[in-house]
């Protein structure tokens, strides 16, 4: 618990830091950090951590250390000059340790010509800060920092250790980010992800499976098209079978925390469809790339088997596909679903402090995609996501500044409650 005196002084300190917090966040948003190019923004975070007199570890990922890990996802970018950054506060002892984690990488800002303001402007207008990464999740990263800063500036000493983590490539699977840090031993008794959850406690994520299907046809000149077999047409048969699977799972597969997010728990989408390269040639090859998601309780191996069976069953109905079965490849995101016991003490502490600071009930939610929390599940570390409000992954991305400050207040109270603290007079 946090006594009223400690709460009052820390919240007052944070309130006095409001303009500084907003300026610091704007400065970070002005540094492009699209996944694969996070180095400059990480220098910014390292300086902040050094200014707080934390132990600052610049941790460059080594491929040999993670490539054989069962949760590793292969990616296209080298790891040089794009490290993870960790700021470590060493507690006085006797308290629980805590990690406040955020990712520095963002998705692409394209199409940049559609933005109201340049995507790396950090423009503030009507209580919102605009720019790629403002909501996802530089707002949370800066809230983490000011939560700890306010505690230390208030003269309180924490009993438990605290790590501020700024990690790379969460948007592309997180192997070189949080997973790499966990492999190296950067762990704690609990972890909070400051993702933009709109003041909800996110305690579950969907599993994700990417797959690619290739169908061969028989090329022919357009003037003799009847002599060929159109690969695109044959792929349509598989496309419709996957559509039917999507409809079936939409009605039969339910997980309440996902249903409340978008009204559907499991998704299947065909993200790309390519076939042919000339109008007067019957295409001899067609390819689709797809994503299927699944809920806690379902296994990745079973989802892969379901995809294969769906495609195989469709092919049995067509003579060409029966004799020329398609090639199916699983690639990219291959992640299990994850869920956290909502009654775990870490979640309870965060919920209690959030409701106290915000003066409103805070509910639970699930996120219908993969997030870094799943790595914590593998290592047995309790975790939860909670953070500010905004719009992300869109043109004109923004975060509502008051919710960034409010998030920092919640994190500060949670740190005090979870880690324990002493005053200078103690």
Query: Which residues belong to the active site?
Result: 105, 170
- Of residues 7, 11, 27, 29, the one with CA closest to residue 399: 29
- Of residues 233, 224, 221, 227, the one with CA closest to residue 278: 221
Q: What's the rounded Cα separation, in Å, for the pair 6 and 11? A: 8
The three-state secondary structure class of 273 is strand
Give the position of tokens 């007067």: 280
Q: What's the rounded Cα separation, in Å, for the pair 289 and 366? A: 25
- Of residues 74, 52, 35, the one with CA closest to residue 167: 35
Give 384's contacts (C-beta < 8 A, 6+ positions apart): 192, 193, 201, 202, 203, 340, 346, 347, 350, 373
The full length of the chain comes to 426
- Of residues 413, 369, 84, the one with CA closest to residue 208: 369
Residue 381: count other Cβ atoms within 10 Å of its Cβ. Answer: 18
Token representation of residue 252: 């039969």
327-362 b/e (C-beta count within 10 Å ≥ 16 → b):
ebeeebbbbbbbbbeeeeebbebbbbbbeebeeeeb
Residue 232: count other Cβ atoms within 10 Å of its Cβ. Answer: 18
């Amino acid at each position: 618990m946090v006594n009223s005196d400690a709460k009052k002084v820390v919240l007052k300190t944070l309130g006095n830091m409001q303009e500084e917090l907003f300026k610091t966040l704007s400065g970070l948003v002005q540094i492009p950090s699209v996944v694969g190019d996070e180095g400059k923004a990480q220098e910014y975070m390292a300086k902040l951590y050094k200014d707080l007199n934390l132990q600052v570890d610049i941790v460059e990922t080594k491929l040999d250390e993670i490539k054989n890990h069962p949760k590793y996802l292969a990616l296209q970018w080298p790891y040089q000059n794009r490290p993870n950054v960790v700021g470590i506060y060493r507690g006085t002892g006797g308290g629980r340790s805590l990690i406040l984690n955020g990712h520095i990488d963002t998705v692409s800002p394209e199409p940049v010509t559609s933005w109201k303001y340049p995507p790396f402007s950090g423009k503030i207008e009507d209580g919102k800060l605009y720019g790629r990464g403002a909501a996802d999740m530089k707002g949370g990263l800066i809230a983490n920092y000011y939560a700890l800063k306010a505690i230390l500036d208030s003269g309180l000493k924490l009993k438990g250790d605290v790590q501020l983590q700024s990690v790379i490539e969460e948007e592309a699977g997180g192997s070189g980010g949080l997973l790499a840090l966990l492999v190296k031993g950067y762990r704690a008794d609990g972890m909070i992800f400051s993702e933009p959850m709109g003041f909800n406690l996110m305690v579950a994520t969907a599993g994700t499976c990417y797959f690619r299907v290739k169908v061969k046809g028989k090329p022919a000149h357009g003037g003799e098209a009847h002599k060929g077999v159109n690969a695109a047409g044959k792929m349509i048969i598989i496309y419709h079978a996957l559509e039917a699977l999507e409809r079936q799972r939409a009605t039969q597969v339910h997980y309440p925390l996902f249903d409340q997010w978008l009204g559907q728990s499991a998704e299947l989408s065909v993200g790309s469809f390519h076939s042919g390269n000339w109008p007067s040639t019957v295409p001899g090859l067609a390819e689709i790339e797809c994503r299927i998601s699944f809920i806690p309780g379902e296994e990745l191996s079973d989802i892969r088997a379901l995809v294969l069976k769906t495609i195989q069953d469709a092919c049995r109905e067509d003579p060409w596909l029966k004799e020329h079965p398609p090639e199916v490849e699983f690639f990219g995101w291959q992640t299990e679903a994850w869920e956290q016991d909502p009654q775990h003490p870490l979640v309870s502490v965060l919920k209690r402090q959030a409701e106290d600071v915000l003066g409103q009930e805070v509910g639970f939610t699930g996120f219908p995609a993969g997030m870094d929390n799943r790595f914590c599940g593998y290592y047995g570390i309790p975790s939860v996501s909670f953070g500010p409000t905004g719009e992300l992954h869109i043109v004109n991305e923004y975060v509502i500044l008051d919710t960034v400050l409010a998030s920092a207040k919640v994190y500060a109270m949670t740190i005090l409650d979870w880690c324990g603290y002493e005053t200078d007079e103690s």
